[in-house]
Amino acid sequence: MANYIFTAQMRQSGVTPIPNIFIDEYMANADGNFVKVYLCGFIEAINGNKVSGDFISQKLELLESDIIKAWEYWESKGLVNIKKSSGELQIEFLNIYDVFYSNKSSVSMAATYSPEDIRSRMDNAKIKDMFQNIEKSLGRTMSAKEISMYLSWLDDYSFSPEVITLLIEYCKSKKKVDSRYFEKVAIAWHDANIASVEDAQKYITQHEEKYNKYRLILDFLGLKEHDLMKPQEEFLDKWFSNWNFSLELVLEACKICSLRINEPNFSYIDGILSNWSKQGIKTLREVETADSKKKSKNMKFKAPVNTFNSYDQRSYDIKELEKKLLGIEEVTPDE
């Protein structure tokens, strides 16, 4: 188990100053174990401590794999930096205020439209309908910043009002109603060159098919969707997109992993699939054939020639040997 070196961009002994932003903005959406790991590590960082992985595992009664997942989660949220060296993990806690307001400002950068600009754009019937449909979908009135963000999508991304309305409805269907999530999806759609409702619908279908596979894998491994961190998603992308494995075959690799080590280890599963990829295995039948050949090969054992077995082996009568060992002589009737 790796050792941890904790550092923080703030230092205060005797107390643990958890920023309110962490509680208000980050804690609610995080897994409870992830929160425990963050707080435990934060205390050590404030005190500038170096502790063993066993210490954290025993203190929180968590597996090392759960602790690693927690650090990966907080790294994906931008709250920590992770560096690996010589069997140690260096966990640097970043200034949460800088992280939060930096992310917030990136969403608010679109707020450059004046009230006069907004009113003039409302003269366009399609744009006016778009805003009414969005407010109806969200069940609330939009802020000036949100309105400016949507207008920027029209101007900067060349989205039509219908595409923007579909984007908001799609996000809501996934129970995501945060402006930062809307912006993230809009950037993804722009990068995918979506220009029409038809393009958007095709993209949604492909995206959902992909993530339905990922959800099935996570469910099989006993994980939740929020457990999927960037490193694990990269593994899944490689298995399905690069190596073109079927869902059936990936699930088989997950099953083998569970039977062998009894934990959802993506690196272990990746090793199994990497081996199959090198062998050109693409079906369960081919897996079974490869396993049968391997078992057959392992069963065939030829003793090497050496001074012990390089001559013909004798056969012995075990009962006769026992009699001689015990000094028992057979008595004939004539005696």
Does 90 share its domain with 136?
no
Residue 169 belongs to a domain = yes
Would you tell me how many other CB atoms lie within 10 Å of the CB of residue 303? 7
Residue 308 belongs to a domain = no
Question: How far is residue 97 from each of residues 24, 42, 157, 200, measured CA to CA in Å?
Answer: 12, 15, 30, 35
Which of 46, 74, 100 is where one domain is finished? 100
Does 46 share its domain with 82?
yes
CATH number at residue 39: 1.10.10.10
Tokens coding 138: 């969200």
Identify the pLDDT of residue 154: 95
Q: Which residues pair with 312 in a beta bridge?
A: none
Does 250 share its domain with 233?
yes
- Give yes or no for residue 143 having a pLDDT over 80: yes
Cβ neighbors of 54 (< 8 A, separation 6 or more) are 1
Which of residues 247 and 297 earns the better pLDDT score? 247
Tokens coding 18: 């958890």
Identify the pLDDT of residue 203: 94
Q: What is the mean pLDDT of residues 234-259?
A: 93
Write down the H helix ranges in 177-299: 179-191, 197-220, 230-237, 247-261, 266-279, 284-299
Residue 203 belongs to a domain = no
CATH number at residue 226: 1.10.10.630
Segment 17-41, tens digit of pLDDT:
788 888 888 888 788 899 999 999 8
Categorize the per-residue pLDDT at 231 as very low, low, confident or very high, splitting at 50, 70 and 90: confident
Does 82 share its domain with 8?
yes
Q: What is the mean pLDDT of residues 122-137?
A: 95
Does 189 share its domain with 141?
yes
Q: Which residues pair with 151 in a beta bridge?
A: none
Residue 315 belongs to a domain = no
- Give yes or no for residue 272 having a pLDDT over 90: yes
Highest averaged pLDDT of the listed ranges 42-51, 103-112, 192-201, 215-224: 192-201
- Give yes or no for residue 204 having a pLDDT over 80: yes
Which of 141, 169, 195 is where one domain is finished? 195
Which of 47, 80, 100 is where one domain is finished? 100
Residue 126 belongs to a domain = yes
Does 167 share its domain with 229?
no
Residue 278 belongs to a domain = yes
- C-alpha 313/C-alpha 323 separation (Å) is 22
Does 219 share its domain with 155?
no
Q: From 199, 107, 112, 184, select the one nearest 151 (Cα to Cα).
A: 112
- Give yes or no for residue 212 having a pLDDT over 50: yes
- C-alpha 33/C-alpha 13 separation (Å) is 24
Residue 330 belongs to a domain = no
Of the given ranges (45-49, 162-166, 270-274, 306-310), which has the lowest mean pLDDT? 306-310
Identify the pLDDT of residue 308: 39
Contact between residue 100 and residue 253 where contact means Cβ atoms under 8 Å apart? no
Categorize the per-residue pLDDT at 163 as very low, low, confident or very high, splitting at 50, 70 and 90: very high
Identify the pLDDT of residue 310: 42
Does 223 share its domain with 284?
yes
Does 221 share its domain with 239?
yes
Residue 302 belongs to a domain = no
DSSP string, 264-328: --HHHHHHHHHHHHHHT--SHHHHHHHHHHHHHHHH---PPP-TTTSSPPP---HHHHHHHHHT-
Does 222 share its domain with 259?
yes
Segment 78-104, tens digit of pLDDT:
899 888 777 788 888 888 877 776 655
Which helix or strand (DSSP H or E) is residue 4 part of? strand 3-8
Q: Is the pTM of this model over 0.85?
A: no
How far apart are the two ends of the chain, measured CA to CA in Å? 77
Does 160 share its domain with 214?
no
Residue that is written with structure tokens 């107390």 in the block: 15
Does 230 share its domain with 277?
yes
Identify the pLDDT of residue 53: 73
Which of residues 174 and 190 earns the better pLDDT score? 190
Domain that residue 164 falls in: 109-195
- Give yes or no for residue 122 having a pLDDT over 80: yes
As for how many domains the chain has, the answer is: 3
- C-alpha 93/C-alpha 8 separation (Å) is 5
Contact between residue 135 and residue 142 where contact means Cβ atoms under 8 Å apart? yes
Q: What is the mean pLDDT of residues 47-54?
A: 78
Question: How far is residue 11 from each of residues 20, 37, 50, 284, measured CA to CA in Å?
Answer: 17, 19, 15, 55
